[in-house]
Structure 1
Amino acid sequence: MLTAARARAALRGRLARIPFRARLAAAFGGLFLLAGAGLLGLVVLLARRGITQRLDAIEVSGGDAQPGDGQSMSPTEPSPSAASTAPDAGVTVPSGDGIALRKVVLNAAQSVSDTAVQQIVLWSGIGLLIMTALSALLGWWLAGRALRPVAAVTDAARSISEQNLHERLRLTGPDDELHRLADTFDTMLDRLEKSFDSQRRFVANASHELRTPLSVQRALLEVGLADPLPPGLADVREDLLTSNRDAERLLSALLLLARSDRGLAETDPLEATDLAALARQTVGELRPSAEREGIELTLDVRPLELDGDPVLLRHLLTNLVRNAIQYNEPDGHVHVTITGRTLTVTNTGHPLADDQLARLFEPFQRLGQERTATEGHGLGLSIVRSIAAAHGATVTAEPGTPGGLTVRVDFLGDRWFRER
């Protein structure tokens, strides 16, 4: 029992791996084969029955015929003019050999009927197989057309993210089950878009509202704890100011993340920006901090002009390079390159596991404590991904050899490039 149950479960598992379209086409072909086989069996049965009835009629008609019609006949010398006729069969046989000849005729007729039935079964079977294959192909085509809206829903579900929740299927056609499925999917996207917009507004508003009291707090600390201070309060003041600046940087990062998450609409004004010039400017600003940590910062860029938001693109570069400096090792290096439409930032550091790569771009992720700087809140690569998505770019990360990380940003959308 257990073995049979496992066999059935394995069979169901194998069947479940077959695409639904193939299963539907196979069902069409199987139904046609069953219907054709049933029709062929009925035709053969009726043909055999009709032939049998005809042969019985021939035998009865031959048995009722009387030899000679009053003429004298010899069994060994039959007269050619004296004959018995089987009227139903249309065959005239000599009366002296009537019984034997009737048997010959019946055997020949039976042989011909068997051969005819065999030929009917053979060629009808071949035709049935051909038509079954054609019906399966037709079923494959019909299934593809019928499942086209489902494929559209699947493709949309794969491509939809928090960056393009405004997209909709807007399926046209009759009001059937597939149309209602697409409408339900669009309604779900409406709810998700409202939820994400509400979350972004909350983050932006909360960050904005908190910046003012933090600024006031910093001013009070600077004024209220101005020099000269009693012994011991100077260190307290520096700790408070450091904590205040750290909170302000966190709020600024959250505001930047909320802004980039909104994306760039088709109507947003874009500026021609040279990404290579921004990279040189960013590397120049961060080089002193890299030198303090003993990090070698190198640059190899080619001109890359695109239409975008220069402020966001500068933050993208700043966060990439700063992250490469912070998550490094003593006497390490950071290399920034721009080739074609690809920006690459490579650094040295400790090896990263595959499961850690999947978490790199999540907010507030700081993988381990092996880094050269203690600043940061784990938002750098989240901001990079958000800004890149707003500019139609993709971000990928690969572990370096023997350690470190390579982050690549590919600008692919034609919207961001034009003839100069």
Structure 2
Amino acid sequence: MRLNPRTLLGRLPFRARLAAAISALFLLAGMALLAFVVLLARYGTAQQVQGIAVEHGNVSTYGDVPTSPEHSSGRTGLAGPQPARGRADGDMALIRKIDWTVQAVQAVQDTVLRQLVLWSAVGLLVMALLVGLLGWWLAGRALRPVTSMTEAARRISEQNLHQRLALTGPDDELQRLADTFDTMLERLEKSFESQRRFIANASHELRTPLAVQRASLQVGLADPLPEGLAEVREDLLTANREAEQLVNALLLLARSDRGLEETVDVDVAATAETVTAELAAQAAIECVDIGLTAKAPRPVLGDPLLLRHLLTNLIGNAVRYNRPGGHVRVRVEDRTVTVTNTGPLVSAEQIPALFEPFRRLAQDRTGTTGHGLGLSIADSIAKAHNARLTAEPGEDGGFHITLRFP
């Protein structure tokens, strides 16, 4: 498998990438400076060597016999052949000496340049490493406000939205980011407070009229009743109970969406046993066999009331949407709860829609039983507990629902 360097670099923390960028920038600048110095040094020494050759090599030749400037001035009558030959030998020795000097200087130049490049490269690598470590330290100091903002944001939840980052310092990008985050927290606090007031008011304003209506029906239409009114009374009471259940379900959904206020260790196996026992009568009416198996259960951190509603909705739906002679199997193992039932065949494409409010297997929202809120409430409570709720169709119909707590 071929690894992409850009992908590997993207996996590094921002602090490491910033330190690596500083080191790479220093290394490139150092290499450019080293190349510039070496080229100028080579050019300068070459010019100096050429100057030495010109200065000390001012000897001309005539034919095969080198002559000095005195020979070329025209004064040749007084000198014999022996002195001229001696001067020529001296000029040749001088030329050879100059050539040797030039070669020696060239050798020294090459050696110096090689040593310069070698030790400069070693020093450059060492300095790049030191600059990388210094860049790591500087990046940590520069990102310290961001780290403190991240830790503060993690501490802030629904219960302490009144807290603010309150970052102090100059008016820079980090300060403006912290101010923006504080403004967002202020808006969230107002929104959550408004939702709390709405739920509290709705709990009173919606439940009270329904309770008064139910009491009026029971008192005003008490026995004995004229013929035909008894059936009307039962219909009105049934509609009243369904409306109250709907209001309670909507309020429970709103409460679970708000998150958890207080959490304790909850024995999920004991809660499932209680819920199964409560639904046994309904299962008997529906001719459904219900059973519970607990294997090495472990407590989970959550809200006991919401978890009880969660299991009630899951197991209750498994009993309600079943067939005569069918069964419901509840299994609690470790921190996982599975609910399996028999029932009508369900396609995998229909399952995601069942977790939406007011959605059921029927084609419309008006069915004979239920309001289509059971699974949506269960999913909301599961998310509030950081749990995962999944469902898949059974081979012979029904569902296989799995609830996994962290």
How many angstroms does 1:165 deviate by?
6.9
What letter corresponds to residue 208 of structure 2 in structure 1?
T
How many angstroms does 1:259 deviate by?
4.6
Residue 280 of structure 2 is matched in structure 1 by 287
State how far apart, in whole Å, the 1-side matches of 2:118 and 2:154 are. Answer: 50
State how far apart, in whole Å, the 2-side matches of 1:305 and 1:100 are. Answer: 99
How many angstroms does 1:397 deviate by?
1.7
State how far apart, in whole Å, the 1-side matches of 2:110 and 2:245 are. Answer: 96
CA contact (8 A) 1:204 1:258 kept: no
TM-score by length of 1: 0.69
Q: Secondary structure at the match of 1:399?
A: strand
Q: In terms of Rg, which structure is larger? A: 2
**1:323 partnered with 2:317:** yes
> Which is further off, 187-196 or 177-186?
177-186
How many angstroms does 1:298 deviate by?
0.7
How many angstroms does 1:384 deviate by?
3.7
Q: C-alpha root-mean-square deviation of aligned residues, in Å?
A: 4.5
Q: Secondary structure at the match of 1:337?
A: strand
Residue 301 of structure 1 is matched in structure 2 by 294
The CA deviation string for residues 378-399 of structure 1, in whole angstroms up to 9 with x for no partner, is 3334444555566x56242242
Residue 361 of structure 2 is matched in structure 1 by 368
Q: Which of 151, 172, 180 pairs up with 1:184?
A: 180
CA contact (8 A) 1:319 1:380 kept: yes
Residue 276 of structure 1 is matched in structure 2 by 269
Counterparts of 1:107-126 in structure 2, within 5 Å, are: 107-121=103-117, 123-125=119-121
Identity, in percent, stands at: 52
State how far apart, in whole Å, the 2-side matches of 1:114 and 1:264 are. Answer: 77
CA contact (8 A) 1:356 1:367 kept: no
Q: Provide structure 2 residue ranges, at least 5 long, that are not aligned to the other structure.
A: 1-5, 60-67, 71-78
Q: Secondary structure at the match of 1:28?
A: helix
> Which is further off, 342-351 or 286-295?
342-351
State how far apart, in whole Å, the 1-side matches of 2:116 and 2:349 are. Answer: 66
Q: Provide structure 1 residue ranges, at least 5 long, that are not aligned to the other structure.
A: 1-12, 79-93, 413-420
Residue 406 of structure 1 is matched in structure 2 by 401
Q: Which of 334, 337, 344 pairs up with 2:331?
A: 337
State how far apart, in whole Å, the 2-side matches of 1:327 and 1:216 are. Answer: 32
The CA deviation string for residues 224-257 of structure 1, in whole angstroms up to 9 with x for no partner, is 44553355x5554433322221111111223334
The CA deviation string for residues 359-393 of structure 1, in whole angstroms up to 9 with x for no partner, is 6555x24242299x943323334444555566x56
Q: Which of 222, 225, 234 pairs up with 1:228?
A: 225
State how far apart, in whole Å, the 2-side matches of 1:338 and 1:36 are. Answer: 65
Q: Secondary structure at the match of 1:346?
A: strand
Q: Which of 57, 61, 73 pairs up with 1:63?
A: 57
Evaluate the alpha carbon distance shift between residue 146 and residue 406 of structure 1 in structure 2; reply closer, same or farther with a 3 A threshold. Answer: farther
What letter corresponds to residue 54 of structure 1 in structure 2?
Q
Evaluate the alpha carbon distance shift between residue 44 and residue 354 of structure 1 in structure 2; reply closer, same or farther with a 3 A threshold. Answer: farther
Q: Which of 355, 363, 372 pairs up with 1:378?
A: 372
State how far apart, in whole Å, the 2-side matches of 1:360 and 1:199 are. Answer: 26
Counterparts of 1:143-292 in structure 2, within 5 Å, are: 143=139, 146-147=142-143, 150=146, 166=161, 170=165, 174-175=169-170, 176-226=172-222, 227-231=224-228, 234-260=230-256, 265=261, 274-292=267-285
How many angstroms does 1:54 deviate by?
2.7
CA contact (8 A) 1:343 1:408 kept: yes
**1:52 partnered with 2:52:** no
What letter corresponds to residue 333 of structure 1 in structure 2?
H
**1:103 partnered with 2:93:** no
State how far apart, in whole Å, the 1-side matches of 2:204 and 2:232 are. Answer: 27
The CA deviation string for residues 41-100 of structure 1, in whole angstroms up to 9 with x for no partner, is 3311331243134314422441369899x995744996xxxxxxxxxxxxxxx6542123
Residue 353 of structure 1 is matched in structure 2 by 348
The CA deviation string for residues 101-157 of structure 1, in whole angstroms up to 9 with x for no partner, is 312322342243245334534553465466556656765675466446557767887
Q: Secondary structure at the match of 1:228?
A: coil
CA contact (8 A) 1:304 1:341 kept: yes
TM-score by length of 2: 0.71
The CA deviation string for residues 246-280 of structure 1, in whole angstroms up to 9 with x for no partner, is 111111223334455555546x9x6x865434332
State how far apart, in whole Å, the 1-side matches of 2:298 and 2:354 are. Answer: 26
How many angstroms does 1:172 deviate by?
6.0
